[in-house]
Amino acid sequence: MALVLVAAALAAWLVAGAVGPGLFRSHMAEAEKSPGTVVEHAESAFGSASAVTLAVALLAAVLTALVVSTVLARRVGASLGSLSSAAANVAAGRFDVRLAQPHIGSEFDNLADAFNAMATRLDHDEMLRRRLMADVAHELRTPVATISAYVDALQDGVEELTAQTVGVLHAQTARLARLAADLAAVTQAEGSGLRLDLQFVAPARLVEAAVAAARSRADEVGVTLTATVEPGLPMLRIDPDRMGQVLGNLLDNAIRHTPRPGRATVSARRLGSSVRFTVEDTGEGITAEHLPHVFERFYRVDTARDRTHGGSGIGLAIAKALVHAHGGTISAHSAGPGLGAQFSVDVPV
């Protein structure tokens, strides 16, 4: 609107400046031929020149305003048309569409940037959803096929119900139950239904409980567990069960990927306005290309290896969601394959 007004005023000023003086001189020349004083001639010439000049200037201003308004309206309309078309593509499931900045104002540029960010996030989420469905189908296929094969063999009399058969069936049903429990846990942790029972808890208590819970499993596979807690740490207002679940998942992950004889360490220390819990191991390590994705659901650095180890690929996603629910952050670090991994959880004091 300001641009239209400025353009109209500028057009009126330029036209008046160009037309007015010439008309005034012309009227003065004609007025001198008629009887009357100089003042009367000047007043007559000024009035005639002003009327014509004003009419021409106003006409030029209106025409300029119409042209500028039409150009701006078309640019705005083209921008909104592009947005409408892109939104229709996104609604149809095509998330690869992107908008160029129209450069007709910061609001439109910000809108284009926000739309592109939304489309990028939707595209990423769609890829995760497809991979999630494929991974869930794969996870279910193996235990269901195994159970079905054994049941058919028992019905046909090919297989007998021995202790070994029962053990296989029990292991596969436990795998299904673990997958269902992990899916329910990550859905609850990432959704709005998560409820935290916040209490003031000493960090040392969390570390001790996590190590005690994982001790027997570590001993079975030959992994040495150690714990170090910096003295004088402040109390944390957290849900001890949920945060214990986080450390438990990280320890379980460390033990699973640390070959015999290995070592896993849990530590807690003050870091600025937070307390940092660290779970470090001497295991297989993680390459740099996989580090940004280890907290995604069903993501595996080595699919075949992890399925052999019995992981569902959801434990780290659950840990991330629970840490974020406490207002904290979680990160993964590794120097490379064979050099171990380190997971850090920062919980605000």
User: Is residue 99 situated within a structural domain?
Assistant: no
Q: Is 90 part of any domain?
A: yes
Q: How many helices (H) and strands (E) does the chain have?
A: 8, 7
Domain end call among 143, 167, 190: 190
Percent of the chain with pLDDT over 90: 25
The answer on pLDDT for 302 being more than 70 is: no
> Are 88 and 183 part of one and the same domain?
no
CA-CA distance, 52 to 70, in Å (whole number)? 27
Structure tokens at 80: 């909104």
Tokens of 236: 């944390």
Tally of domains within the chain: 3
Of 313, 196, 181, nearest to 257 by C-alpha is 313
Which helix (H) or strand (E) segment holds residue 52: the answer is: helix 38-91
- Ranking 44-53, 56-65, 69-78 by mean pLDDT, the lowest is 44-53
> Domain ends where: 127, 161, 190?
190
CA 293 to chain centre: 13
CATH number at residue 312: 3.30.565.10
In this prediction the pTM is 0.56
User: How confident is the model over 76-94, as pLDDT tens digits?
Assistant: 888 888 888 888 988 888 8
Q: What is the mean pLDDT of the chain?
A: 82
Please report whether residue 297 resides in a domain: yes
Task: Examine the domain organization and report whether 141 and 213 are in the same domain.
Answer: no
- Find the length of the chain: 349
- Same domain for 111 and 36, yes or no, is no
Considering only residues 133 and 114, tell me which one the structure prediction assigns the higher pLDDT.
114
Say if 226 falls within a structural domain: yes
Claim to verify: residue 217 and residue 178 sit in the same structural domain:
no
Per-residue model confidence (pLDDT) at position 304 = 42
pLDDT at residue number 238: 93
Given 94, 128, 160, the domain boundary residue is 94
User: Which residue spans within 30-169 are E strands per DSSP?
Assistant: none
Domain that residue 36 falls in: 2-94
Beta-carbon contacts of residue 155 (< 8 Å; ≥ 6 apart): none
- For residue 294, the 8-state DSSP code is T
Same domain, 225 and 147: no
| Residues 210 and 160 placed together within one structural domain of the fold | no
Tell whether 100 is covered by a domain: no
pLDDT at 308: 46
What dihedral angle (degrees, nearest 10) is formed by the CA atoms of 170, 174, 176, 180?
150
The answer to whether residues 37 and 134 belong to one domain is no
User: What integer is the mean pLDDT of 192-204?
Assistant: 84
Q: Within this chain, do residues 237 and 328 fall inside the same structural domain, yes or no?
A: yes
Do residue 229 and residue 326 come from a single domain? yes
Q: Output the six-digit token pair for 216.
A: 């027997």
Which CATH number do you get for residue 168?
1.10.287.130
Is residue 299 within 8 Å of 313, Cβ to Cβ?
yes
Judgement on whether residues 243 and 321 belong to the same structural domain of the protein: yes
Does residue 71 lie in a domain region? yes
102 domain residue, yes or no = no
Residues 17 and 36 in one domain: yes
Using 50, 70 and 90 to split pLDDT, how confident is the model at 227?
very high
Same domain, 204 and 258: yes
